[in-house]
Amino acid sequence: MPQNPIFHDYTFGDQERKELDHVGHFVLPKLLTIDAQARLTESLARVESLIPGCKKGYEPNRFAAEYDSYLESLIGHPQMLKLARQVLGEEIRYDHCVSLNRPGGNSGAGWHSHAYAEDDPRYGFVRIFLYVNGFEADDGGLKAVPGSHLYRDPKIQAATDEALREGWLAEKTHPETGEPLAIEPLSVPPGTVVLMWTHAAHAVTPRKQDSDTRWTVVYGYYKPGKDPGERWITPEFERKRIPGAEGLMSEY
Ligand SMILES: O=C(O)CCC(=O)C(=O)O
Ligand SMILES: [Fe+2]
């Protein structure tokens, strides 16, 4: 049976691809269909409910698709794969599906970046964030540093914006424009999808105490050929036949 659409129509051509490569992230506002938003909310709430007392090393949030069949079905969803291939090219592999729900009072996340193929920019690793109910900049909001991904530094770390500015950001410029690098806080409406290259510096502001839960899940795909490091995927899941995901689950 064909899967329900998850995305509305969108354009991701040469110009959009260039912007993603220049900035490090690309926002597709309100891309998720109402049906996908409803099903994701249900699945993410279920995954969240399984976390207390869960098995260490096999946490429902880190292995979200292994705990929920709808999240699993999106790994090989034709629209998800089309988007991943528009970014990475035809040859892709799946890396992870991680739930990033942030209940009221959640402390957010400090500045950091992630790894892949530091020595060869031809090998990309993209994160596809589904911000099901969106966020405001000061309420579980994603922040990023446009151009930071071009340094391909997997070890960016800072606890606060100030510490990032005084540390890693100091004196750094965009390699293509020479402009000083700067922090960009984002605000996005419900149903927004954000693409982000894995080396981009990013952080998350705390979720306000009286806010509802921010429902989010991220899917990671990469162009194979380099060591992806530890993938959050069990050997059993790697061998599982997931419709649409044939050929996507092996490391290389
Ligand atoms: O919660 C978020 O919006 C982003 C979390 C994050 O840093 C990540 O998934 O790499
Ligand atoms: Fe991150």
What is the arithmetic mean of pLDDT over 43-48? 98
Q: Which atom belonging to ligand 1 lies closest to the Cα atom of 102?
A: 1
- What secondary structure, in 3-state letters, does the chain show? CCCCCCECCCCCCHHHHHHHHHHCEEEECCCECHHHHHHHHHHHHHHHHHCCCCCCCCCCCCCHHHHCHHHHHHHCCHHHHHHHHHHHCCCCEEEEEEECCECCCCCCEEEECCCCCCCCCCCCEEEEEEECCCEECCECCEEECCCHHHHCCCCCEECCHHHHHHCCCCCCECCCCCCECCCEECCECCCEEEEEECCCCEEECCCCCCCCCECEEEEEEECCCCCCCCCCCCHHHHHCCCCCCCCCCCCC
The CB of 87 under 6 Å from ligand 1? The reply is no
Half-sphere exposure for 183 (CA within 13 Å, toward CB):
24
The CB of 218 under 6 Å from ligand 1? The reply is yes
CATH architecture of the domain with residue range 17-239:
Sandwich (2.60)
Mutate to test the pocket of ligand 1, among 204, 211, 215 (most ligand atoms within 8 A of CB): 204
Q: What is the pLDDT of residues 80-123, one digit of tens each?
A: 999 999 999 999 999 999 999 999 999 999 999 999 999 999 99
pLDDT of residue 1: 72
pLDDT of residue 2: 86
What is the arithmetic mean of pLDDT over 154-164? 98
The answer, yes or no, to whether residue 241 has pLDDT greater than 90, is: yes
pLDDT of residue 171: 92
What is the arithmetic mean of pLDDT over 178-187? 98
User: pTM for this one?
Assistant: 0.98
Any bridge partners for residue 131, and if so which?
A: 192, 216
Show me where the domains of the chain are located: 17-239
Chain mean pLDDT for the chain: 97
pLDDT of residue 43: 98
Q: Which atom belonging to ligand 1 lies closest to the Cα atom of 100?
A: 1
User: Do residues 103 and 206 make contact, with C-beta atoms less than 8 angstroms apart?
Assistant: no
pLDDT of residue 164: 98
What is the arithmetic mean of pLDDT over 184-204? 98
Nearest ligand atom owner, CA of 216: 1
Q: Which atom belonging to ligand 1 lies closest to the Cα atom of 218?
A: 9
